[in-house]
Amino acid sequence: MEQYKNIQGLLTDIYGKEKGSLALKKIIFLIEKFPAKKSRAKDYFSQNDVVLITYGDSLNKDGEISLKTLHGFANKYLKDVFSAIHILPFFPYSSDDGFSVIDFLSVDSELGSWKDVKALGYDFQLMFDLVLNHISSKSKWFEKYLNEDQGFEDLAIEADPSIDLSEVTRPRSLPLLTEFIKSSGKAVNVWTTFSADQIDLNFKSIDVLEKMVEILLFYVKQGATILRLDAIAYLWKEIGTNCVHLSRTHDVVKLFRSILDCVAPDVMIITETNVPYVENISYFGDGRNEAQMVYNFTLPPLLFYSFAIEDSTALSSWAKGLYLKSGTNTFFNFTASHDGIGVRPLEGILSEKKMDRLIKIVKENGGRVSYKRNSDGSESPYELNITYVDAFLNKKSGVDEYHSDRFLATQAIQFVLPGVPATYIHSILGSRNWEQGVRQTQMARTINREKLRLDDIVKQLEDPDSFRSRIFFPYIELIKTRKKQPAFHPNAPFEILKIDPKVFAIKRYCESQTIYALTNISSEHISVSLSGDKVLDRMKDLLTGKQFNTKSFVLNPYRFVWLSNANI
């Protein structure tokens, strides 16, 4: 029992002594029947870690299931580029492009099977979504709840609609409660944080906890090496609170971490919390007891703003705070994902007037803006819906000669920051806004979720003059170069340099190497000079092989260099 002492303590904290003891028996049973207990043989992270984010059917080919198409494309073009692939929810679902799961244990037959998932896992590490906050209203679980079957009576969270729930943090402008009729004829109002089709799970029930721990371990068994805890911030509900980031929510993350430490310590947890920075990093816990990684949600909108005004001051100031106390944690750096560009992480960083500037650019570039409902009944921007590629289009210049260069410069900054970088498939493929998709679904987020034909993509990549080709191949080389540099280890020390407001500059270093990564975020030619005790008069740009006189050189518009004192 000694090995389960931490788990026991957490269950007691969450459920009390009696209920916690019962929960412990259930969880020990699941742990004991788990097939293998591994030991962590290496550090969690290295500079070789780069994650591709994609839906299972982002690429499609006639006569072939989508997961095989993805696997074939990844093996041909991405084998030595990405270390891991995050396959967004690939389970049977009823809405929200996969995040309203009907069956956690099955693969959507239109995508493939568990055999196809495991085959991909032979060539890449895999990241799965554990959608633990809610389940589809079309699921067998919810059907059993409505039937009041044993073990499912407390699956959902029932609430009296007359109770004041105005304090509850709302991520969307939709009703918090949805009415359903049980098979007995009784009408109940259940908690639906994200939509009427997404039934919040009641983690106050140890039956629910047992079911989700079983799913957790099942995903590990199927080859998951990273588990993304979707919408984790909203997990635990207490009427009279804002129901976000509650202590019991953190306890559940700790519990899942403790279970994995027992059975699969190599498997990492990443928390998805699209919230202001301080709230976001709270999911690191004490550095060893919660998530190994958190999404760096502030990066995408702040990077967007910095390029919009051609000034890196706010970005540089924020980046100075990216220090972590523990070497077992790091940031998950991304600029685009299947969702839009979240703007809540800019609270306390940008004024409403500055936010309005970003909204104006998004609308000018064909994007949309999604809003959330506040406790006072008002609405405020929640996310900007646009491909990250088109967010950086300058329509005022007519033909934007810098479009691809500007976008690649944003990605270069992402890849030099401390943390593990992740790239959305539509970013590396240079995808534009999918207007047709938005018209079809009437969902703003669809603009960034186009389903691509593999033959069309390959044809465009083979054309060196195509926009996709001008993004894809330089992007590939950027990643390959980064992976060779020990100074870009996710937890290697760094220093933000003050050179010019139009240049984002960071120094990354380790025992064997120092890199000065400079990015011109403007449309101007900027004169640059490096100084310091360890700055050599001449340094080599790792990206091009060109030698630079560090005392004086010019960065062309949206040019970036990685100057090193060692040839690795």
Residue 195 φ then ψ, to 5°: -170, 165
- Tell me the C-alpha distance between 99 and 139, whole Å: 12
Residue type, 171: P
- Written as six digits, the tokens of 421 are 């970088």
Question: Half-sphere exposure of residue 524, counting CA atoms within 13 Å on the CB side?
Answer: 11
CB 223 within 8 A of CB 186: no
Checking phi first, is residue 96 left (phi over 0); if not, alpha (psi -120 to 50) or beta?
Answer: left
Cβ count near 356 (within 10 Å): 12
463 labelled catalytic: no
- Tell me the C-alpha distance between 103 and 184, whole Å: 25
Q: Active site residue: 230, 390, 405, 541, which one?
A: 230
The end-to-end CA distance of the chain, in Å, is: 48
CB 515 within 8 A of CB 485: yes
CB 261 within 8 A of CB 31: no
- Written as six digits, the tokens of 138 are 């079309």
Nearest to 70 by CA among 12, 126, 27: 126
CB 394 within 8 A of CB 400: yes
- Tell me the C-alpha distance between 521 and 524, whole Å: 9
Residue type, 102: I
- Written as six digits, the tokens of 426 are 């539509």
Q: Which residues are catalytic?
A: 230
